[in-house]
Every structure is written in structure tokens, then in C-alpha cells.
């Protein structure tokens, strides 16, 4: 940790010099400047905040969010932020806490009103019983990938709305109107998604990373296992053989590959079972055509449908 903090201090000095001339006057008061850890949160912050906010994410949708590279600009952004919004459940433990410590902005430190944790209304899944490091990069508080669930989107929006109102009560009518519009749209989309995903009920799949509990439960799919030996640990030959045996035993032909993970092993596994690999972004921006949270959920449902059809698991819909 000390080594990381030392590196960030050096980046802070570089970033401060570079950033002083790049400051936008809107950050200082005309608009609320929000920095989020991840892209989906920036999108939902814009939807709830409307024209009262400017929001941008530190990480992109194509990065491994357990190993986000630290940049000088991140410290500068956090130093200027009015609010910081994060997923929580220690999703961002590898980069955000150290950055917040060096940003010298008491408004957004944990415990301050400007620190908005979007997991506060989430019932966590996959809470581990064993927290030993030999189990890999486990999440002590449960899986943080609740953005892949329509209910998770509702929980994120609620946390953002409450945080905005707490910090800017005079703007509550604006935020409330945007929040209600978001909920109305989500209600309609949930109905559409339920119909769209109906053929996927009972579909068995494997994924590269353990990230799909919320998504699978929402749409009735069943995870049979992961290509990773354990979270954050690359597979061994023995693990792949065992996984293939499980897949053949229960007829799994759909393999999820998150864009930040390599293609070779998923392709080889799919070939062994006569299956199909489907690229499944975990965040907006994970593939070029997905720019918003609503587009993310829709894309992932349609991607699984297409893969399942190609694999012959379901018929044409």
C-alpha cells in the first residue's frame, strides 16, 4: 500500500501541473461535478442529475476493474469533485481508496455526504464463507456486479438520487422529476426484457469470470462454473478438464467472455463442446455499441439469445 501511495503522490504532482490549465469553470459551481468509479454510474448520474450535473468515470468499460491503471488525471479529477459515486462492496478496492486518500478533498471521503455508495440498497449475492487469499480475489461483502440486474439499476438510481438530494436539497424537484422518469422507463423496459429473455429460462452457461449471479437470477439462467480457477486466478489444465466434464454432463454450449479477458481459452472450450462464445460486457463501453446502462442490459440479453440460437440450445425467436 505504501508503494502505491508513493506512486500516486508522484502522479498527483504531475497531474496537478497538467490539470491546472485544463480546469473547466463549470466544475467550480455552475454545474455539480461528479466523478464516478465506473461508467454505468456516470450514465445513471447524468440521467438522475440532468442538466444540473457533469459526470465522468475514472475507469472505462473495457478495463479489468480489479486492476484499473492509475493515472495522474484521476487524482486531479477527485480533487475537484463535488461528489464521488462508487459501486461499493469493495469493487473498486484496487484503485479508489488510495486515490481518495491522495486527492485532498474532504468532501468526498468515506463518511462524508459527498461519498455516495450505490450498494446501500442492494441485497448481496455470493457472499463468501471463506475469505482466505487462497480463494482468489474474493469480495468479502458479496458480488459487486449488481449493475447487471434491472433491480440493481433501480438500487443504483435510488442511491444517486438520495445522495444528490442530501447534498443539494434546493434542487430536489429537478432530481425527483428525473428519478421518476428513470423509474418509469425502467418499469417499461423490465416488461420488455422479461418477454425478450423468456426463451433463456433454464439456460446453462459458463463464464470466464464470476460476475453473472444477478443477471442470471433475473432472467432464469444457470451458471455451471467459471473458466478462472478462482476469481482473479488463471485456469490450470486440470481445471479446464474438470470444467469440460461438467459442461458435457449437463449440456452447456454457451460460454460468456467478458471483453477484458482473453479469447483463446474460451474459444477452445466452446470448440470442445460444440458451443458458442459470446462477448458479454460488464459495463457500458465494454463494446462500442453500448454507451448507456439501459443499452448494456439489452445488449447482454440479445447477445445470449443469439449465442444460444447459434449453439442450437433454443430455437429462433
Q: Specify whether the CB–CB gap between 203 and 313 falls below 8 A.
A: yes
User: Is 2's pLDDT higher than 60?
Assistant: no
Average pLDDT over residues 85-93: 95
211 and 246 fall within a common domain: yes
Residue 14's pLDDT band (boundaries 50, 70, 90)?
very low
Three-state DSSP class for residue 33: strand
283 and 243 fall within a common domain: yes
User: Is 5's pLDDT higher than 50?
Assistant: no
Three-state DSSP class for residue 223: strand
Q: Specify whether the CB–CB gap between 26 and 10 falls below 8 A.
A: no
In degrees and rounded to multiples of 5, residue 279 shows phi and psi of -75, 125
Give the global pTM: 0.89
Average pLDDT over residues 206-223: 97
237 and 147 fall within a common domain: no
236 and 263 fall within a common domain: yes
The pLDDT of residue 3: 46
* Cα 171 from Cα 180, distance rounded (Å): 14
* Cα 133 from Cα 143, distance rounded (Å): 16
The pLDDT of residue 13: 44
Instruction: Give the rounded percent of residues in the chain with a pLDDT score beyond 90.
Output: 82
34 and 89 fall within a common domain: yes
Residue 128's pLDDT band (boundaries 50, 70, 90)?
confident
Give the model confidence (pLDDT) of 282-298 as tens digits.
999 999 999 999 999 99
The pLDDT of residue 138: 67
Domain boundary among 150, 167, 190: 190
215 and 276 fall within a common domain: yes
| 295 within some domain | yes
User: Is 121's pLDDT higher than 70?
Assistant: yes
Residue 67's pLDDT band (boundaries 50, 70, 90)?
confident
Which of 20-24, 64-68, 198-202, 254-258 has the least mean pLDDT? 20-24
143 and 79 fall within a common domain: yes
* Cα 163 from Cα 166, distance rounded (Å): 5
The pLDDT of residue 216: 98
User: Is 6's pLDDT higher than 50?
Assistant: no
22 and 67 fall within a common domain: yes
Question: How many domains are contained in the chain?
Answer: 2
| 316 within some domain | no
124 and 185 fall within a common domain: yes
The mean predicted confidence, pLDDT, of the chain is: 90
The pLDDT of residue 25: 35
Average pLDDT over residues 249-267: 96
CATH number at residue 292: 3.40.50.1980
Q: What separation in angstroms does the CA of 211 have from each of 139, 146, 148?
A: 11, 9, 9
Residue 232's pLDDT band (boundaries 50, 70, 90)?
confident
Residue 18's pLDDT band (boundaries 50, 70, 90)?
very low
Q: Which domain holds residue 285?
A: 199-310
| 315 within some domain | no
* Burial state string for 136-151 with b = 16 or more CB within 10 A and e = fewer than 16: ebbbeebbbbbbbbbb
The pLDDT of residue 237: 96
The pLDDT of residue 137: 64
| 243 within some domain | yes
Domain boundary among 190, 223, 245: 190
Domain boundary among 142, 166, 190: 190
| 97 within some domain | yes
Average pLDDT over residues 192-201: 97
Average pLDDT over residues 46-67: 95
| 10 within some domain | yes
Which of 20-29, 71-80, 136-145 has the least mean pLDDT? 20-29
| 158 within some domain | yes
90 and 210 fall within a common domain: no
The pLDDT of residue 256: 98
| 317 within some domain | no
* Cα 249 from Cα 97, distance rounded (Å): 43
Residue 17's pLDDT band (boundaries 50, 70, 90)?
very low
The pLDDT of residue 134: 54
46 and 64 fall within a common domain: yes
139 and 100 fall within a common domain: yes
Q: Which of 183, 226, 205, 201 is nearest to 273 (CA)?
A: 205
User: Is 133's pLDDT higher than 80?
Assistant: no
| Cβ count within 10 A of residue 173 | 9
Name residues whose C-beta falls within 8 Å of residue 35's C-beta, 6 or more positions apart in sequence.
55, 56, 57, 58, 77, 78, 81, 83, 84, 85, 108
Residue 243's pLDDT band (boundaries 50, 70, 90)?
very high
Amino acid at each position: 500500500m505504501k508503494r502505491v501511495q508513493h506512486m500516486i503522490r508522484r502522479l498527483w504532482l504531475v497531474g496537478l501541473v497538467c490539470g491546472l490549465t485544463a480546469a473547466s469553470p463549470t466544475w467550480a459551481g455552475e454545474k455539480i461535478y461528479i466523478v464516478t468509479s465506473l461508467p454505468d454510474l456516470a450514465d445513471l448520474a447524468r440521467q438522475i442529475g440532468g442538466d444540473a450535473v457533469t459526470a465522468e468515470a475514472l475507469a472505462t468499460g473495457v478495463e479489468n476493474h480489479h486492476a484499473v491503471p492509475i493515472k495522474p488525471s484521476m487524482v486531479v479529477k477527485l480533487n475537484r469533485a463535488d461528489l464521488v459515486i462508487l459501486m461499493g462492496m469493495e469493487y473498486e478496492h484496487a484503485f479508489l481508496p488510495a486515490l481518495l486518500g491522495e486527492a485532498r478533498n474532504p468532501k468526498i471521503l468515506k463518511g462524508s455526504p459527498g461519498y455516495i455508495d450505490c450498494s446501500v440498497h442492494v441485497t448481496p449475492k455470493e457472499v463468501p464463507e471463506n475469505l482466505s487469499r487462497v480463494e482468489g480475489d474474493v469480495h468479502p461483502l458479496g458480488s459487486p456486479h449488481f449493475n447487471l440486474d434491472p433491480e440493481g439499476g433501480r438500487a443504483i438510481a435510488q442511491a444517486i438520487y438520495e445522495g444528490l438530494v442530501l447534498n443539494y436539497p434546493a434542487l430536489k424537484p429537478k432530481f425527483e422529476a428525473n428519478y421518476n422518469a428513470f423509474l418509469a422507463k425502467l418499469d417499461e423496459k423490465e416488461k420488455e426484457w422479461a418477454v425478450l429473455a423468456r426463451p433463456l429460462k433454464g439456460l446453462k452457461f459458463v463464464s470466464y469470470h464470476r460476475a453473472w449471479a444477478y443477471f442470471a437470477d433475473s432472467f432464469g439462467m444457470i451458471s455451471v462454473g467459471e473458466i478462472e480457477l478462482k476469481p482473479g486466478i488463471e485456469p490450470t489444465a486440470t481445471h479446464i478438464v474438470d470444467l469440460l466434464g461438467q459442461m458435457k454432463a449437463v449440456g452447456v454450449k454457451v460460454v460468456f467472455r467478458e471483453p477484458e479477458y482473453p479469447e483463446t481459452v474460451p474459444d477452445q472450450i466452446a470448440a470442445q463442446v460444440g458451443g458458442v462464445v459470446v462477448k458479454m460486457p460488464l459495463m457500458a463501453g465494454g463494446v462500442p455499441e453500448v454507451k448507456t446502462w439501459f443499452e448494456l442490459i439489452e445488449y447482454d440479453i440479445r447477445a445470449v439469445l443469439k449465442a444460444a440460437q447459434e449453439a442450437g440450445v433454443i430455437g429462433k425467436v
